[in-house]
Amino acid sequence: MEDNSNRSSFSNRLGFVMAAAGSAVGLGNIWRFPYLAAKYGGGIFLLVYLVLVATFGYTMIMSETALGRMTKKSPVGAFAYFGDRFSLRFGGWINAIIPMLIVPYYSVIGGWVCKYLFAYMQGHVKQLASDTYFTSFIQNGISVELFFLLFIFLTLLIIYMGVQNGIEKVSKIMMPILVVLAFIIAGYSVTRPGAMAGVKYFLIPNFKDFSWMTVVTALGQMFYSLSIAMGILITFGSYMKKDVDIEKSTSQVEIFDTLIAILAGLMIIPAVFAFSGGDAASLGKGPSLMFITLPKVFASMGMGTFAGILFFLLVLLAALTSSIALAESAVSTFEDELGWNRKKSTLLMAAIMIVLGTLSSLGFGPLSSIHILGMDFLDFFDFLTNSVMMPVAAIAICLLILKNVTIEKMIAEVKSTSKFKRKKIYVFILKYLAIPFVAIILISSVLDVF
């Protein structure tokens, strides 16, 4: 076994929480959660999501962090730690590959955010609020591609310079501002005439709106938003010192991440009712929802330009801390498993990001005639990672624990620093519920597209 004494580590609990929260809070909360909640049933989606986070999400987030701390390895190494079998190698690699597939399309959305930030800085607050602004922008291949490349450049520059510490410091200042701003915008949004119907739609579960896809989508969103089932937390856990309370720190990340998602829902969904009628068509707008409804809110408020700039700047920073975590995990996999140096590994990641991301970025313009399983490229990569690969990765982690690590060892790892208040739920979910539940979700999401 290699010597791990040089492995870098977070200085304390706050270090872990900040890094994990920085990776968790991102476009998933502000852009993805509201449009999925709007599309898949509003209050009932929120309810299912919260139940999943408190049970299954909790189990996964604890498991991954503890596995990382126990083995002091990133995903491929953590699986291999328990033996050299094909199944273990597969489990490690599927966890490691997911971030490599997410970060390219994540950067496309990051590019859209950059574009909006620039447009607000130019004072285009009125134009941005028109119904056609977004669509004509994403159809313009060159412009989308340029902003996408800008976002990749920012991500890789930070990774290459290795200034995550700087990023952690920035997050500490930025996250609180993001929360305050989110409260202000949400407060403004819910008090618009007609917005109350949206608040009700988002917060009050209505079983009429329930469908099996609500559960499938909520599960995928939970993986995505908490950054679980993709090896990230194994890596972060491996940087966690042996005296940090795992239960407390993961709970904080969970609560913070969920709070931001709910606030984003309150910023966006009531605005859909106030400004676009809140019918099925406007709620089902999908990936474009944030870019279409929020500008209407900004245009209608005083200091809209200022609010737009501040909002998109914060979203950009939140997106960057996430894309850095995603790309960083890929780069470190290349370093560890291929034995490449940082520069070569970063270049390989850049190539992957540019090639795969370009497909997604041009998928609404020049490549819009190409569809995979009825989806454009961006939706396809989103579906492949969230609805297919992450369930497989989650099953792999559960199997690893049940078959190789043993639940007792996991409990011992957590208990060495935490009270482990929710131990019973943890063991029950891991032993009986997780694998069958995720397997059913996986099968139904695959069946859904065929």
Q: Which residues bind ligand PHE (CB under 6 A)?
A: 23-24, 26-29, 99, 224-225, 227, 230, 232, 322, 325-326
Residue 115: C-alpha distances to residues 154, 171, 195, 227, 353 (Å): 14, 22, 28, 25, 19
Phi and psi, residue 347, nearest 5°: -65, -40
Nearest approach, Cβ of residue 147 and ligand PHE (Å): 18
Nearest approach, Cβ of residue 321 and ligand PHE (Å): 8
CB 116 within 8 A of CB 291: yes
**Residue 149: both structure tokens together:** 């490349």
In the complex with ligand PHE, the residue whose CB is nearer, 29 or 164, is 29
Instruction: Please report the DSSP string for 334-352 in residue order.
Output: IIIII---HHHHHHHHHHH
- Cβ neighbours of residue 3 closer than 8 Å, sequence gap 6 or more: none
As beta bridge partners, residue 375 has 372
Nearest approach, Cβ of residue 320 and ligand PHE (Å): 11
Tokens 């060892």 belong to 409
- Cβ neighbours of residue 174 closer than 8 Å, sequence gap 6 or more: 314, 317, 318
In the complex with ligand PHE, the residue whose CB is nearer, 26 or 42, is 26
In the complex with ligand PHE, the residue whose CB is nearer, 195 or 234, is 234
Nearest approach, Cβ of residue 368 and ligand PHE (Å): 25
| Residue 106 burial by Cβ neighbours in a 10 Å radius (0-12, 13-18, 19+) | buried
In the complex with ligand PHE, the residue whose CB is nearer, 260 or 441, is 260
d(CA 409, CA 70): 9
CA-nearest of 213, 262, 148 to 445 is: 213
Nearest approach, Cβ of residue 390 and ligand PHE (Å): 10
In the complex with ligand PHE, the residue whose CB is nearer, 27 or 309, is 27
Tokens 């988002």 belong to 202
Residue closest to ligand PHE, measured at CB: 28
DSSP alpha helix (H) spans, 191-279: 196-203, 212-226, 232-238, 246-276
In the complex with ligand PHE, the residue whose CB is nearer, 227 or 249, is 227
Nearest approach, Cβ of residue 49 and ligand PHE (Å): 13
Residue type, 407: I
In the complex with ligand PHE, the residue whose CB is nearer, 138 or 327, is 327
In the complex with ligand PHE, the residue whose CB is nearer, 278 or 287, is 287
Nearest approach, Cβ of residue 59 and ligand PHE (Å): 18
Nearest approach, Cβ of residue 103 and ligand PHE (Å): 8
CB 183 within 8 A of CB 191: no
Q: 3-class DSSP state for residue 375?
A: strand
